[in-house]
Amino acid sequence: MILYQGKFPTTKKLKNSIITLIKEKLSGIEGRICIDLLDLNLILDEAIINAMEHGNKWDPAKNVFVKISLMPKGIQIEIEDEGPGFDYFHKFTVHEIKPLLRERGRGLMLIQQFCDIEWQNCGNIIKINIPVEISA
């Protein structure tokens, strides 16, 4: 079941508003989100910045699409950009120490540490899966 769907222009100043909106939508669900709110904030920040910076190349004419869905085992947050995508299989199967030590390029690895993610399309859609404990 879709809880929210929206699109936002690629503008850095909107990032925090998008994160706040997502967290407000999540606060309305019945149950407890099984992830720390600081971790959730980091996940959303990384995913949205990646979509704007790497996907849309900061082009304000391109949008970032957000969809929040209630799934059988939790919540799925889908963030899509209008960029060409990337080879996500290669990114997560090739292990090198050097990229881990760089200041940039660690966002996706951070996201993956805190939740389950899936990639769709050509890599320009990330699906963030967050478990929820249903209240009795």
**pLDDT, mean of residues 82-110:** 67
Q: Which two tokens stand for residue 85?
A: 């995508």
Give the per-residue pLDDT at 102: 56
Lowest mean pLDDT among 20-24, 90-94, 122-126: 90-94
102, amino acid identity: R
pTM of the predicted structure, to 2 decimals: 0.88
Alpha carbons 94 and 85: distance in angstroms, whole number: 18
Task: Give the per-residue pLDDT at 81.
Answer: 98
Residue 90: predicted pLDDT: 66
CA distance 68 to 32: 16
More confident residue, 120 or 20: 20
User: For the structural domain made of 2-133, what CATH number should be given?
Assistant: 3.30.565.10
| 91 vs 66, more confident | 66
